Every structure is written in structure tokens, then in C-alpha cells.
Amino acid sequence: MDSLSLLVLGVVLCFSCYGAFSCPKRCTCHVGIDTTEVVCPDVSLSRYPSDSLPGSTTSLTIQFTSLDNITAYDLRATPLLQELHLPGNRLSSLPAHLLVGLQHLHTIDLTGNLFQTLPPQVFHHAPLLTLVLKDNLLTNVSADWLPRTSNLTWLDLSGNKLSKGPSALLQRLTRLEILHLSQNHLEELPADSFHSLPALERLYLDENKLQALDAKAFSGNANLTHLFLQKNQLESLPAAVFHGLARLHYVDLSENKLGSLASGTLAEGMVWVDLSSNPWHCDAALVPLWKWLCGQSDRSEPTCVSPEALKGRVISQLTSAELSPVPAQ
């Protein structure tokens, strides 16, 4: 083959490669050895760009656009897709068989859309590990969204309108490690609420309306390491609520309505417990908490709200006499 023929062949191959990795208008594409990432942030985008996406796309982000519809047919254009990020769009519904054929998809992020409900089997057909439904309008969660053999390890349902925990769905998530239920309308946690989650490590329940916890709310969660309960309405805690949680070392109880804690509620192995911004009443009933705080080298510094004589004082800096004064003779 002469040099001219080689040159022509090279040009043809270059154009072929360029076509294979063409990038949709108003999007950016990053091509690596084993990955092709596409990001489309244009607010004027209103249609899924399936006809111009590289077939090798492994990660697709369409964010803060006017996109209001997506179909299983659209997703067929990217059979190698591993991550699908669709935050801040105008999606309000999804087809039941959306993920058919996506045998590599492990992450889907639907943060900040307009979903009030979703159809059964909507997240079947793909080996999902991470599902994010944060900041939508969901009032209920269906167990049928995911298959019975789901391998999901991360589920984010924060920022919705859930008044009850998704117990039926959680029964299918025996491998779940991280669960976000923050910023919902949860008022109670029945016994064994998360019993089906033996692998659970991080549980986010902050900014709900919880007024009390059942003593067995976290039974079965022996691998729990981080528990977030801040900004609720908790007035008391059962003494045994954290018993059996040997790995639990971070608990956030700040901004609740706690006035005291029963003896034995907090274990010595807890490395950090945030107790700030609670209405602590500093009298003899607070001695167990005072002793626990004094034994911690790394701690938050909650302060007394009452009685008036101790208001604003750091609890760990009080003396036993101040907490349990000897009655005047």
C-alpha cells in the first residue's frame, strides 16, 4: 500500500473515531481508556439527547435542565451505562421498565425532581447499588420498586414527605449500608424498624418529627457506626435504645428537647455524641450524663438551660455539689 493510500485510510479512521465519540450539543464529553463521561448542564435542554450520545457512554449527567421525560428507548443508546445522574430536572414520572437492558448500571441519582409516586418495578432490570431520590415529593414508598434480590448498598430518600418509614421496601435490602431518611415527616420508629438491615452502617434520621424512640428501634443493627438524630423533637430516650450497638461511635442528638438521660443510655465506646442545643435541666437526675461527659476526652460541650442559677454553664465543668446540693439544715 502506497503512502497516499495510507493517508486516505488514516483520514477515514479518524473520521470514524470522531463519529463514535461525537458529543451532544451543549454537553461536554470526557473520554478515558475504559470510561466515557458526558455532562449536560444546559437549562434549555428539554429532550433526552439519545440520538447524539456516544454509544460508549459509561457516566451520564443531565442536570438543572428542562428535561421532563425519559424512556427506556432513550437509554438503549447507552448500553454500557454505569452511572445515570439526573438531578434538578422536571421529571415527574418514569416508565415501569425504564432500566431494561442496562446490565452495567449501578448508580442512579434523581435528586430534585417532581416525583410524587413511581410505578412498580421501576428500578428492576439493573444491578443497582446506589439509588438517590432526594428532594422529591414522595409520600409513600413501594416495596415493588426494587427486586426481592436487590444488592442496593446506598438508599437516599431524604427531603421527601414520608410520614412512615419504608419498612416493606427495607425488607428487600439486606445488603444496605447507608440509609438517608432525613428531612421527612417521620413521627415514630416502631420496634425493629431496621431489623432487616444487618449490614447498615450509617442511618440518617435528622430533621424529622420524632418525639420518642422505641427501645428496640435499632435492634438487629449491630454494624451501625453513625446515627444522626439531630433536629427532631425527642424529649427522652429509653435507657436500652443503643444497647447491642457495639460499633456505634458517632451519635448526633443535638437540637432536640432532651432534659436528662437515664443512666446507661450512653456507652463508654461512643467516641463522639453531640448533645448540644437541648434544654438540659441540671440537677441530680443529670448526674449520669455528667459522669459520662467527664469521662470523655473528645466531647461536645452541652450547657444547662435550667435551673436559672446554672443556666449557660457547661455541664462537664459542674461539680457534683452543684448538681446534687446538700439540703440546708
> Who contacts 181 (Cβ-Cβ below 8 Å, separation ≥6)?
157, 158, 162, 165, 166, 203, 204, 205, 208
The string of pLDDT tens digits covering residues 103-144 is 999 999 999 999 999 999 999 999 999 999 999 999 999 999
Residue with cell 481508556: 33
The string of pLDDT tens digits covering residues 228-271 is 999 999 999 999 999 999 999 999 999 999 999 999 999 878 88
Higher pLDDT pick, 289 / 15: 289
pLDDT score of 327: 57
CA distances from 51 to 17, 23, 48, 74, 93 (A): 17, 10, 8, 8, 22
The string of pLDDT tens digits covering residues 164-198 is 999 999 999 999 999 999 999 999 988 888 999 99
Neighbours of 293 (CB within 10 A): 21
DSSP state at residue 8:
H
pLDDT score of 21: 63
Q: How far is CA 198 from the centre of its chain?
A: 17
Looking only at Cα atoms, what is the longest distance across the chain? 115
Sign of CA dihedral 252, 207, 139, 66: negative
pLDDT score of 225: 97
The string of pLDDT tens digits covering residues 265-302 is 998 788 899 999 999 999 999 999 999 999 887 778 89
The string of pLDDT tens digits covering residues 80-94 is 999 999 999 999 999
Q: Which helix (H) or strand (E) holds 115?
A: none
